[in-house]
Structure 1
Amino acid sequence: MMTRIMAYPLTRQLWRRALLALALLTPGLAQAAESAAVTSPRVTATLLSSRDAVAPGERFQVALVQKIAPGWHTYWANPGDSGEPTRITWTLSQGATAGEIQWPAPKAIPVEPLVNFGFEGTVLLPVEITVPPEANIGERLTLQAAATWLVCEKICIPEEGTLTLDLPVAPAAIVAEAAQSRIEAARAALPAPAGFRGHLAAEGESLALTLPGLPAAATELRVFPLSDTLIDHAAAQEVRISDGATVVRLARSSAFKIAAGEIAGVLTYREGGLSRALTFAADVEP
């Protein structure tokens, strides 16, 4: 007597059940959405995924998570007076791609007599991953992030770690709900594009940055330029209102240099008791 075996395509629900069963049976897969940690006395780093399983051709978010010990800090894209920004070198399954770090708004961190631009506490650095359309169902998408960062208190220590995730490729993506919530909260707090264009001009030995669309009620304004050769990071930033526009007086860097006809950066301020952050660009007066 012949037994007929029927094969049926797995539904999304069955895929979820199969992956959960695999996670329970296989050590190390129960927390598939977060990599094993790289730990030092100063920083604990992991790679967090918004997916438990990915679909061919989709784009999704991961994040490098740094839990930084009290009193220590890591660095923004422009680290300020000293330091180095966090960098990630990716090794991915064939055809997959990774975007750039989506930088949160930095803090100005005094380390007398310097001021650094960076992060304290816990910071998530999101990155978009694109799955190749030709990825095969049942295979795995490997994400390997070789990350380097400088962590500083009164001294600075270079650190590094390789963080790896292996995510199943399924007919439909399976969201890692808790991880996605953390990443989306971090992305919602990223600096938003400013709805105006600034203007930078010389003002004696200093620079004047005019920001015509900044809310009049903005307080505690701080300018974080992407270029590390524009301003003296430790100098006071004087704010005034001129012809209805906010103008920030900035001290020039001792290594002052502008490579293009515009500058870009991030503005942080408070409005109505809430912290705000904007990305901005400004034309440079010849």
Structure 2
Amino acid sequence: MNIKSIIGAAFAGGMALLAAGPAISQAMPDNLLNAELRKGWRMSDGDQMAALRLTLAPGWKTYWRAPGEGGIPPSFNWTGSRNVAGVSFHWPKPQVYDVNGVRVIGYRDELVLPIEFTPVDPTQPVSVSAAIDLGVCDEICVPMSITVSAELDSTAKPDPMIEAALTARPEDAAKAGLSAARCSAEPIRDGLRMTANMTIPQVGPDEFAVVELADTSVWISPADTRRSGGDLTATADMVPPNAQPFALDRSSIRITIFGGSGRVVDLQGCTG
């Protein structure tokens, strides 16, 4: 495993550290971040369940896939892996934090991220290697790069640590009482404005929704979230790289609802 801070490169590229005034001088702990790939086990369908485990210095956080205002979304490059046809992430439920007045979404002290690998040939070994860009955060937020690799064991038994992370995923929307999810879109100057109307019981006292698309190149604004009785409405602007209106695939819309009570509900796709 190789872990390398890229703070200087982040400044050179215009990626500001999120801090206010004197907080920039915060010292970096020696144990800021450690990473490993837990090898997991081969499942009955032939896929390999493994996990990325990140251990951070006490009090430090890393980001969820949609990190919130000003956060650094993690990115993964699996070039160099062998016998891998597909990669799926099973994100555990994140927490919501206030960092210098900015809302960020992520994990404190540790993240165990289950990752499911689909082999090209299930009868052959799977070797994975990843270059990962991510951010870690305390009083300041630091962009970092790490590399991890492992030969995955097809004969191992299920890993309790990975199983616990799978159990900790957000609630499925249908199980949380969702009865309808309708999405509409209207063109704006540089993209689309999407409004989702969801009929679902209240998730918590301070609900807000995060809207994502399968196409991560599309910038999405923080959603304006409002509740009226049994209906929750989330409106967000979507701007693609060419800054033009585009055809919206409603099945690719992912909406995560956060409640102030700590509940998190996941919804995939909506109707017109």
TM-score range, shorter chain: 0.5 to 0.7
Name the amino acid aligned to 1:72. W
Separation of aligned partners in 1, 2:94 and 2:88:
17
The aligned amino acid for 1:199 is R
Structure 1 contact 77–226 (Cα < 8 Å) conserved: no
Q: Are the equivalent residues in 1 in contact too, given 2:64–2:106 (CA < 8 A)?
A: yes
- The 3-state SS of whatever aligns with 1:185 is helix
User: Could you tell me which of 159, 183, 198 is aligned with 1:211?
Assistant: 198
Match of 2:102 in 1: 114
Q: Determine if contact 2:194/2:237 at 8 Å carries over to the other structure.
A: no
- 2 CA distance for matches of 1:199 and 1:121? 37
The RMSD of aligned alpha carbons is 3.7
Structure 1 position 198 matched with structure 2 position 188: no
2:167 aligned partner, one-letter code: A
1:275 Cα deviation from its structure 2 partner: 3.1
Alignment correspondent of 1:68: 56
Q: Structure 1 residue aligned with 2:163, among 157, 164, 184?
A: 184
Following superposition, the deviation at residue 62 of structure 1 comes to: 0.7
The residue correspondences of 1:60-209 to structure 2 (distance < 5 A) are: 60-90=48-78, 91-93=80-82, 95-131=83-119, 132-135=121-124, 141-167=126-152, 173-175=155-157, 177=158, 180-195=159-174, 196-200=179-183, 209=196
Q: Deviations over 1:127-161 (max 9, x none)?
A: 112342452xxxx6432222221112332222222
Structure 2 length-normalised TM: 0.65
Could you say which residue in structure 2 is the equivalent of 1:221?
A: 207
- Out of 13, 25, 41, the residue aligned to residue 31 of structure 2 is 41
Amino acid at match of 2:128: L
Gaps of 5+ in 1: 1-35
Deviation at 1:193, TM superposition (A): 3.6
CA-to-aligned-CA distance 1:230-276 (integer Å, 9 cap, x gap) = 4436x7x44331xxx222465x5697988525342212337xx7734
**Which ranges of structure 2 fall in alignment gaps of 5 or more residues?**
5-29, 186-192
Give the greater-gyration-radius structure (CA).
1
Shift in CA distance, 276/78, structure 1 to aligned 2, threshold 3 Å: closer
Q: CA shift at 1:123, angstroms?
A: 1.4
AA aligned to 1:185 is: A
Matched to 2:166, the amino acid is R
Deviations 1:195-242 (A, max 9, x none): 24423569xxx9864321x23575443312115744436x7x44331x
Q: How many percent identity over aligned positions?
A: 20
Q: How many residues of Structure 1 are paired with residues of Structure 2 in the alignment?
A: 224
SS in 1 for 2:228: strand
The equivalent of 1:26 in structure 2 is none
SS state at 2:163 partner: helix
- CA 81–134 in structure 1, closer or farther in 2 if over 3 Å, else same: same
Q: Partner of 2:207: helix, strand, or coil?
A: strand
Note the alpha carbon deviations across 1:90-122, whole angstroms, 9 max, x for none. Answer: 2223x3334132223333322244322322231
